[in-house]
Amino acid sequence: MICFYFVRHGQTVWNLNGKYQGSTDVPLSETGVRQAELAARWFDGKTFDAIYTSPLDRARKTAEALAVRHAMTPIVMPEFQEICFGEWEGLTYDEIEARWPGAVESLYRTPDTLRIEGGETFQEVQERTMRGMRRLIAQGDGKTYVIVSHGAAIRTILCGMLELPLHLAWHFCQGNANISCIHYYGEHQSWLYLLNSQEHLRPLESGT
């Protein structure tokens, strides 16, 4: 069995402002830094073999918060980078809707086929994220890995590992700094053990 933990990066200023960021390298906000620290604490007492991260700053900083607590160094894997939203990046929902009426709805309804101008389809993202997953699976059983990535990228992995149609990708909620977990027992045998857990972020609600 291989245990995979998935952590979405902490909040960014663009998350806060409702902007599509995709492959744009947007840093964590102050809240995002705190979220990363709280996500890292959740892993206290747990052991794992490696931490893999998207190359984008918001994911790397989230991974580094965990790595520091375990005296480890995150390993950058480009396969786990976020989807490229092309010409949508830096724009809000309303701005995109004004320029490309109906396009955002199409993204949520048919993410597997919609191509954003200058960007990627979910299918293309899944091809590279699952390529990364196969690399880790090939390293053998009995391992536990933490993968720090992004909302859309993690959704494509969940669909791929659970053998679900990619058009269902948006059915998986992925909040900032959430934690999900899949146990891989072999081909066609992946079990979802945890999804979008955000209990560790409660101190932010109480101000502690």
Q: Supply the residues annotated as catalytic.
A: 9, 82
- The Cα–Cα gap between 59 and 188 comes to 29
Q: Is the confidence at residue 68, as pLDDT, over 80?
A: yes
Q: Which domains does the chain have, with CATH numbers?
A: 2-180+201-206 (3.40.50.1240)
Q: In this structure, is the dihedral angle defined by the CA atoms of residues 61, 181, 93 and 114, taken in order, positive or negative? A: positive
- Among the listed residues 9, 1, 48, the one whose alpha carbon sits nearest the alpha carbon of residue 153: 9
**Three-state DSSP class for 18?**
coil
Q: How confident is the model over 5-53, as pLDDT tens digits?
A: 999 999 999 999 999 999 999 999 999 999 999 999 999 999 999 999 9
Q: pLDDT digit string (tens) for 91-134? A: 999 999 999 999 888 888 888 888 888 999 999 999 999 999 99
pTM, to two decimals: 0.95
